[in-house]
């Protein structure tokens, strides 16, 4: 009960649901945003504090369902701290695969589609093109391997392409177009493609470049 001098919050819900991890392998519709770190030619990348690794520091908000408005933070590798014995940058390869999946999911492409339209859908003019994309993702839980008691945190484990059985239901119809061309991060030079993108022809209308 509240009195003239107090406000009683005993009846408010606890924060347990907000603090607990979303169960691993849950499928969700997300909107992604890059948190610029000032590294790289356009400033979108973040430099690791402990190595030469570069990554995209992303924040994704859950758009629908019981976890709506929850936020998921994921680092998407662009350059690793080194290569393995076969000369492969595993960290960067994983990141490229995830970005490909995000583009396929956001733009309604199947992962096995090699048509010209699908190939263009997997193309971006700069990392800023990822800002605002809505897609379907499978959530995972990333734990500190050196801390057995760590409960971990949610990350994007994979993006779900158009062939998945639940894709259409979760996307809720046609895939969304990308957000308007974003500005470069503060203090970074403008991306080369912001001033050099040809205007759409009348036949193309307002369709994004990858869908024309």
pLDDT of residue 181: 45
pLDDT of residue 197: 38
Q: How far apart are the first and last CA of the chain?
A: 61
Residues of the chain scoring pLDDT < 70: 1-4, 13-18, 173-212
Report the alpha-carbon distance of residue 28 to residue 26 in Å, rounded. 6
Tokens 């076969």 — which residue? 86
Report the alpha-carbon distance of residue 201 to residue 195 in Å, rounded. 17
pLDDT of residue 172: 87
Report the alpha-carbon distance of residue 83 to residue 90 in Å, rounded. 7
pLDDT of residue 202: 34
pLDDT of residue 60: 97
pLDDT of residue 124: 96
Tokens 């339209």 — which residue? 117
Report the alpha-carbon distance of residue 189 to residue 7 in Å, rounded. 51
pLDDT of residue 41: 85
pLDDT of residue 145: 84
Q: What does the H/E/C string look like for 17-69?
A: HHHCCCCCCCEEEEEEEECCCCECCCCCEEECCCCCCEEEEEEEEECCCCCCC
Write down the pTM of the prediction.
0.77
β-partners of residue 56 are 76
């Amino acid at each position: 009960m509240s009195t003239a001098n107090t406000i009683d919050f005993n009846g408010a819900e606890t924060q347990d649901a907000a603090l607990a991890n979303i169960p691993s392998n849950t499928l969700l519709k997300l909107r992604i945003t890059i948190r610029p770190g000032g590294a790289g030619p356009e400033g979108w990348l973040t430099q690791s504090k402990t190595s030469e690794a570069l990554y995209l520091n992303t924040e994704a908000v859950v758009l629908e369902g019981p976890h709506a408005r929850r936020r998921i933070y994921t680092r998407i590798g662009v350059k690793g701290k080194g290569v393995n014995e076969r000369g492969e940058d595993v960290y960067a390869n994983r990141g490229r695969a995830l970005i490909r999946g995000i583009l396929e999911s956001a733009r309604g492409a199947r992962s096995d589609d090699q048509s010209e339209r699908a190939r263009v859908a997997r193309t971006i003019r700069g990392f800023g093109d990822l800002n605002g994309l809505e897609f379907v993702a499978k959530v995972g839980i990333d734990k500190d391997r050196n801390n057995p008691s760590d409960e971990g945190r949610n990350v994007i484990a994979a993006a779900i392409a158009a062939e998945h059985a639940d894709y259409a239901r979760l996307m809720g119809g046609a895939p969304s177009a990308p957000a308007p061309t974003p500005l470069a991060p503060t203090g970074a030079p403008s991306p080369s493609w912001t001033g050099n993108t040809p205007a759409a022809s009348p036949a193309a209308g307002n369709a994004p470049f990858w869908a024309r």
